[in-house]
Structure 1
Amino acid sequence: MWWLQTLNTIFFFSFLLFAYFNLNDKDSWLWVPIYVLAAVLCGLAVFHRYFGTLYLWAIGFYLSYAVALFFVKDGVLDWVTKYNRQSIVESMQATKPYIEKTREFFGLLIISTALGLNYWMNT
């Protein structure tokens, strides 16, 4: 499936770039490994190397963390209900915690989708 290899190549480079962007964050100890693991798994998928158990473990962790970010104070739910869905893309310097948590939430959903697609298509 050439389209899946192409998509995994895009995910690989994107996730590495996201890891790089997170190097200067205060929580880089968490986010760099999150993005690097996703990049490695997508990179290996380009070469038809799949690790179903690792996909499930990673997806479980990422989705659990996403649920926590959804409900935590100043999380996604507050962004929707309390802060009227202010733009999360206007500045890359997130000074508002609900914007940072919402961005992280969607990043986790993107990673989970990429890994879920690989799991579903190849195991």
Structure 2
Amino acid sequence: MRDLIVFAALQYNDPDPYIWMPIYLYSSFLCYKASQKHFYRQGYIIGLVVYGLYAAYLFFDKTGVLDWVREHNSESMVQTMKATKPWIEESREFFGLVILMVIIAINWLYMKRVRQKDDA
């Protein structure tokens, strides 16, 4: 949870912080609420759908992940933290969204386990 807040803060120098700061903060909020055993099923669904749609866009965009793989031979994404090539920036953003979707999915599974335990 704290890591996601730090990631959100680090987005201030990103070309599009107005997109990425809320994305990380939303995931952080869901993790925080899960740590208090408050779960928002609809919040998880919204997060997964929005992140999934944005990830699909980044995957198929003309300078997205497919372009990175096909046209640039999966060039290293970690050469430098300053992404001067759009296919590197969009590929990093795609994988960031995938990580956030995994985090939300883990929270959702945790929620189901806690609720099943409470019902028993």
Report the structure number with the largest CA radius of gyration: 2
Tell me the equivalent position of 1:38. 27
Task: Look up the equivalent residue of 1:55 and give its one-letter code.
Answer: Y
Tell me the equivalent position of 2:5. 16
Tell me the equivalent position of 1:59. 48
In the TM superposition, what whole-angstrom CA distance separates every residue of 1:37-85 from its partner, at most 9, and x where no partner exists? Answer: 0011111111111101110011100011001100001100010111011
RMSD of aligned residue pairs (Cα, Å) = 0.9
Q: Following TM superposition, by how much is the alpha carbon of 1:26 offset from its aligned partner in structure 2, in angstroms?
A: 2.4
- Relative to the length of structure 1, the TM-score reads 0.87
Tell me the equivalent position of 1:110. 99
Gaps of 5+ in 1: 1-11
Tell me the equivalent position of 1:96. 85
- Relative to the length of structure 2, the TM-score reads 0.89
Equivalent residue of 1:22, what SS? helix
Gaps of 5+ in 2: 113-120
Number of equivalent positions: 112
The percent identity for this pair of structures is 39
